[in-house]
């Protein structure tokens, strides 16, 4: 079945460090891919998205590239800040048949000053 | 745009009591989703609606849970009777089909504690 697998957390980094959170997916067809972020006490919010192979989504210094050949959508940021501490969810949405979004388990990020 | 609105933000109730969670989706959105989030199970989809009609309720845990969407601007999730294992954060999200991109907009959640 369709699924999303992301690296387990927590991930702990110092401020200004480079961030990578790995995400791979299994899907029939050609999904749209997303990264959502959840700050403490809040709901999930869309961070970035990509709809087809080789698309790069970017927002707030975060980037992810839709890699069809490796079925991956890794999240990266060159220099993290304390304010980036949150839980990050990788997700996919199939473009045919149904409307469910499938979320990964989430990766908690702690950034130390 | 006000975003997705949920009420109450916090609910504490005793086991056996009825609990009703409320959601107002973003105006113009025609899909509405109810999720439950716990540390043990993560984020679980309970049910979703399209144009006020339930499409998939396979995630609803058991008959104690029910959801309704009487109109495009309001939905409820009811638990009767509630049990301590229902303690979780419940999120409502809405979306609209625009082309091929189906991003969801989440509300702030309702934190439910059943004692």
Q: Is the pLDDT of residue A96 over 70?
A: no
Q: Is the pLDDT of residue A11 over 60?
A: yes
Query: In angstroms, what separates the C-alpha of A80 from chain B's closest C-alpha?
Result: 24
Chain A residues within an 8 Å CB radius of B108: 41-43
Query: In angstroms, what separates the C-alpha of B106 from chain A's closest C-alpha?
Result: 6
Q: What is the mean pLDDT of residues B42-68?
A: 93
**Residue A87: Cβ within 10 Å count:** 20
Residues 6+ apart with CB under 8 A from B24: B4, B5, B6, B73, B74, B75
If residue B54 lies in a helix (H) or strand (E), which one and from where to where? Answer: strand B53-56
Report the relative pairing of strands A101-103 and B5-7 from DSSP bridges. unpaired
Report the relative pairing of strands B10-13 and B110-114 from DSSP bridges. parallel
Q: Which two tokens stand for residue A34?
A: 């997303």
Chain A residues within an 8 Å CB radius of B36: none
pLDDT for residue A97: 58
Q: Are B72 and B30 in contact (CB under 8 A)?
A: yes
Q: How far apart are CA A45 and CA B107, in angstroms?
A: 9
* Candidate from A56-60, B40-44, B72-76 with smallest mean pLDDT: B40-44
pLDDT bucket at B1, cuts 50 / 70 / 90: low
Contact: A45, B106; criterion CB under 8 Å: yes
> Quick one: which of A25, A12, A13, A36 has its CA closest to A89?
A36
Q: What is the mean pLDDT of residues A76-82?
A: 97
Q: What is the mean pLDDT of residues A70-77?
A: 97
Query: In angstroms, what separates the C-alpha of B64 from chain A's closest C-alpha?
Result: 23
Contact: A99, B45; criterion CB under 8 Å: no
């Amino acid at each position: 079945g369709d699924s999303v697998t992301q690296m387990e957390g927590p991930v702990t980094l110092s401020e200004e460090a480079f961030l990578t959170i790995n995400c791979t997916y299994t899907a029939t067809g050609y999904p749209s891919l997303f990264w959502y972020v959840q700050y403490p006490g809040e709901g999930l919010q869309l961070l970035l998205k990509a709809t087809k192979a080789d698309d790069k989504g970017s927002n707030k210094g975060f980037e992810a590239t839709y890699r069809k050949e490796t079925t991956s959508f890794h999240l990266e940021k060159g220099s993290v800040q304390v304010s980036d501490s949150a839980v990050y969810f990788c997700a996919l949405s199939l473009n045919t048949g149904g409307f469910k979004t499938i979320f990964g388990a989430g990766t908690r990020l702690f950034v130390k000053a | 745009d006000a975003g997705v609105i949920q009420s109450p933000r916090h609910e504490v109730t005793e086991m056996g009591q009825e609990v009703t969670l409320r959601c107002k989706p973003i105006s113009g959105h025609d899909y509405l989703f109810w999720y439950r989030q716990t540390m043990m199970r993560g984020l679980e989809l309970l049910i979703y609606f399209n144009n006020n009609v339930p499409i998939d309720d396979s995630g609803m845990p058991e008959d104690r849970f029910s959801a309704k969407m009487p109109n495009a601007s309001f939905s409820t999730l009811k638990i009767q009777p509630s049990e301590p294992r229902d303690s979780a954060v419940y999120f409502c999200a809405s979306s609209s089909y625009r082309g091929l991109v189906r991003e969801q907009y989440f509300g702030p959640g309702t934190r439910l504690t059943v004692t």
